[in-house]
Amino acid sequence: MHVLSSLDDNSTQSVEESVLAALMAIGRLMRQRTASDIDPGTFWLLHTLRCNGALRVTELAAKMSLDSSTVSRHVQQLDRSGLVERKADPDDGRAQLVDVSARGHELLNEGFAQRKAALIQHFVSWDREDVEALERLLNKFVNDIDSTIAELEQK
């Protein structure tokens, strides 16, 4: 029996549908607003900036597989909130780089701490071996996705 709601109530859920439903449920959990009050969409944008360092908006959009205009709107929102800072691109003075501000780092740390606490709460009844197996399989899954995307981008 699948705990998650079926994507198609008229048939038994396939393994793929069950995984998709589980990923959507996990996504909902990770997108919930936290006390840090960063919009869930911009939270991941800030995280991407922190992982990659200062980037042009177009580079950030490419890393996130999003449209530049969408990322530009998010960056403007983050800039107004003081969560990013802009600086001249040393390679091209006409262009700007966007980077996470000190306040942005602080809110990211709070947001990750809150999300980690939520995960810990959900894993309380799990055997440690099961948590480790989930970690291993999720990493394998993400690495496979990254490899597939890299191959497609080379074509």
Residue with tokens 């793929």: 16
DSSP string, 132-149: HHHHHHHHHHHHHHHHHH
Tokens of 93: 């003075």
Predicted confidence (pLDDT) per residue in 19-51, tens digit: 899 888 888 877 766 656 677 778 889 999 999
pLDDT digits (tens, 9 = 90+) for 54-95: 999 999 999 888 999 999 999 999 999 999 999 998 888 888
18 Cβ contact partners less than 8 Å away, ≥ 6 residues apart: 2, 4
Beta-bridge partners for 92: 89
Residue 119 has pLDDT above 80, yes or no: yes
pLDDT for res 73 = 94
| 99 token code pair | 């980077």
Domain residue extents for the chain? 1-31, 37-124
Average pLDDT over residues 120-138: 94
Give the residue-averaged pLDDT of 98-103: 96
Kindly tell me if the per-residue pLDDT of 8 is higher than 50: no
What are the beta bridge partners of residue 55?
98
CATH 1.10.10.10, domain 37-124, yes or no: yes
CA distance 99 to 75: 10
Continuous H helices in 32-127 = 40-52, 57-64, 68-80, 102-123
pLDDT, the chain, mean:
86
The single-letter code of the amino acid at 79 is: D
The region of weakest confidence among 24-28, 104-108, 128-132 is 24-28
**Higher pLDDT pick, 82 / 11:** 82
Please state, in angstroms and rounded to a whole number, the distance separating the CA atoms of residues 10 and 61.
39
**Which residues are within 8 A (CB) of 57 and not within 5 positions of it... i.e. 6 or more apart?**
68, 71, 72, 75, 96, 98
